[in-house]
Amino acid sequence: MAALLAALLLTPAALSGAASQWLRISTPNFELLTDAGAKKGLEAIARLEEIRSVFGFSAPPPRVFVFASEADRKMFDLHEFKPGSFLGTPERNYILLRDANERIVYHEYTHFVFARTHGPLPAWFAEGVAEFYSALGRPISGHIARLTAEGWLPMSIWLGGGGGPARFYAQSWAFIHMLYTSRSYRDQLPNLMKRLEEGAPAAGAFADAFGKPLADALNEARVMAGRSSITLTIKGPLPVPQISALSDTTATIALADLSLDLNRYDHAFELYSELARDRPEDPAAATGLGALALRRGDYAEARRLLRRAIELGSREARTHYEYAMLVRESKGPPSEVIESLRKAVELAPDFSDAKYLLDHAELDRKQRETTTAVRASKPPVTVPKSWNNPEGDSRLDAVLEQVDCLGAQARLWVNANGKRYGLAVREPGKIPIRNTGGVTFEFGCGRQKPRRIGIEYRAKPDAAAGTIGDVTALEFH
């Protein structure tokens, strides 16, 4: 790998990549954008390929940014990420880096893999696993030294994520390291994860999986910390990265999209508006401004802007999808809805939401045609408006975690890509539930056994209630 990096650093493309120039560094598995120069970008993508080979994981990759400095990080106000972080949003997943150190990169990629393959896991488990893979299964001397010098946290404080980040990470690593490297624990780890994903308390989940108290295992981990080891293997050969300079326009779009997905709306608006002024014929500006209008609830303006982006030749599947939803919500022509959904599926054949809604729209059209023919031979029937179910303009695939009962209404708490969302249920008795099979469903109050569901909803944020919209339909996966 060192020879590969050295060879690439001598190429003209790499030599021209000054720190202020945004670069795209890509392999068949990753696209990395950086203003930190070619050397740091190449190191980061090499580390990403290494840890991906350990997992053998295949999925749509996260978007990776490597920033040059802390000042750049603060410009985007990317929460608490320091040398690195993983952020999951409904739109896409991000790995954000300021350091290409292998342990940092391995740690954040592990979060991405577990977010894609498992339900919600408590922080002590998620961070312990990420630290375990960050060292490829080897002992981490710094963690051992810290626990020796400062002592172990009481179990309740540790499980609650307290005690300071350094000790919390060290103790989480030591405990998970024992589970992964000990034969007496390793085989039952999937059962522990399953119970944790279902929302079981840590002590109960551990007892169910291993038949012993969590406190006893924690005492065992104190004695065993770092004494056992396995070595996870990097599998080669690894792909050779390609480097190219990003145009100012492409870099601005990528940064604006990042700000939008991180809910930094003011900064996203500034960047998209700048792009609209400088390149009025670029569909990306209209797409971004349309997305901002959609998020603030200005649906008429969102529809106008997304239509403008389509007329300018947008090749973004989500632009066509969101436009179709807005047309449907405003009771526009069904043919226009179907046309936009077909385009979304053509541009992104794996876009499951668009395919589902396209099938639904085409079926509705056939049913309307049949109903029209029948009505022609029967007297008209007036159906009260209150009988009709509202239609959603958005869809979210998630894990149902909790139901809050609020008198005649309810609020669902769901987890999607590691982020928690609240959705209002205004009339529980009128929400259609599809694909239940043999599953029974009631809006029972409190914590739920996690279930994977698709949620159709009307995007209507309510800050006071903590919800992003009103549920119109549920579908069990």
Q: What span, in angstroms and rounded, lies between the C-alpha atoms of 180 and 192?
A: 12
Burial bucket for residue 382 (CB in 10 Å: 0-12, 13-18, 19+): exposed
Domain tally, the chain: 5
In DSSP terms, 447 is beta-bridged to 402
- The answer to whether residue 175 scores a pLDDT higher than 50 is yes
Which of 102, 117, 132 is where one domain is finished? 117
- The answer to whether residue 329 scores a pLDDT higher than 80 is yes
Any idea what the CATH number is for the domain that residue 408 is in?
2.40.50
Same domain (yes/no): 2, 103? yes
Same domain (yes/no): 41, 103? yes
In a domain, 401, yes or no: yes
Residue (of 238, 297, 248) closest to 274 by Cα position: 248
Same domain (yes/no): 9, 112? yes
- The answer to whether residue 5 scores a pLDDT higher than 50 is no
Q: What is the pLDDT of residue 14?
A: 39
Count of CA atoms in the C-beta half-sphere (13 A) of 147: 26
In a domain, 150, yes or no: yes
Each residue's pLDDT tens digit, 212-256:
999 999 999 999 887 888 889 999 899 999 999 999 889 999 999
Same domain (yes/no): 424, 451? yes
CB neighbour burial string for 22-32, b if at least 16 within 10 angstroms, e if fewer: bbbbbbebbeb
Same domain (yes/no): 258, 228? no
- The answer to whether residue 126 scores a pLDDT higher than 80 is yes
Specify which of 136-140, 453-457, 467-471 reaches the highest per-range mean pLDDT.
136-140
Mean pLDDT of the chain: 85
Same domain (yes/no): 329, 230? no
In a domain, 242, yes or no: no
Q: What is the pLDDT of residue 9?
A: 41
- The answer to whether residue 269 scores a pLDDT higher than 90 is yes
Whether this model's pTM surpasses 0.75:
no
Same domain (yes/no): 7, 20? yes
Q: What is the pLDDT of residue 355?
A: 87
Q: Which of 42-46, 223-227, 378-382, 433-437 is predicted with the least confidence, judged by mean pLDDT?
A: 378-382
In a domain, 376, yes or no: no
Ranges assigned E (strand) in 102-145: none
Q: What is the pLDDT of residue 446?
A: 74
Same domain (yes/no): 146, 166? yes
% of the chain with per-residue pLDDT over 70: 86
Q: Looking at residues 413-423, what average pLDDT do you find? A: 86
Q: What is the pLDDT of residue 477?
A: 65
Ranges assigned E (strand) in 196-341: 242-245
Specify which of 100-104, 388-392, 413-417 reaches the highest per-range mean pLDDT.
100-104
* DSSP annotation of 441: -
Count of CA atoms in the C-beta half-sphere (13 A) of 101: 11
In DSSP terms, 455 is beta-bridged to 396, 474
Each residue's pLDDT tens digit, 82-110:
678 888 776 678 999 988 999 999 999 99
Each residue's pLDDT tens digit, 14-44:
333 344 689 999 999 999 999 999 999 999 9
- The answer to whether residue 66 scores a pLDDT higher than 70 is yes
In the chain, what is the greatest distance between 2 CA atoms, to the nearest angstrom?
A: 86
Q: Looking at residues 205-212, what average pLDDT do you find? A: 96
In a domain, 230, yes or no: yes
Burial bucket for residue 129 (CB in 10 Å: 0-12, 13-18, 19+): buried
Which of 57, 90, 117 is where one domain is finished? 117
- Could you tell me if 133 and 107 are in contact, meaning their C-beta atoms sit under 8 angstroms apart? yes
Q: What is the pLDDT of residue 98?
A: 85
In a domain, 336, yes or no: yes
Same domain (yes/no): 27, 107? yes
Q: Looking at residues 35-55, what average pLDDT do you find? A: 96
**pLDDT band at residue 72, thresholds of 50, 70 and 90?**
low
Q: Which of 228-232, 364-368, 439-443 is predicted with the least confidence, judged by mean pLDDT?
A: 439-443
Q: What span, in angstroms and rounded, lies between the C-alpha atoms of 456 and 356?
A: 11
Same domain (yes/no): 2, 108? yes
- The answer to whether residue 283 scores a pLDDT higher than 50 is yes
Q: What is the pLDDT of residue 211?
A: 95
In a domain, 91, yes or no: yes
Which of 371, 400, 419 is where one domain is finished? 371
Q: What is the pLDDT of residue 1?
A: 47
Same domain (yes/no): 278, 336? no
Q: What span, in angstroms and rounded, lies between the C-alpha atoms of 123 and 161?
A: 7
- The answer to whether residue 342 scores a pLDDT higher than 70 is yes
Domain that holds residue 266: 248-313
- Strand 63-66: give its sheet, edge to edge: 84-88, 93-97, 63-66, 31-34, 23-26, 242-245
Any idea what the CATH number is for the domain that residue 295 is in?
1.25.40.10
Same domain (yes/no): 412, 444? yes
**pLDDT band at residue 261, thresholds of 50, 70 and 90?**
confident
- Could you tell me if 254 and 211 are in contact, meaning their C-beta atoms sit under 8 angstroms apart? no
In a domain, 379, yes or no: no
Q: What is the pLDDT of residue 225?
A: 86
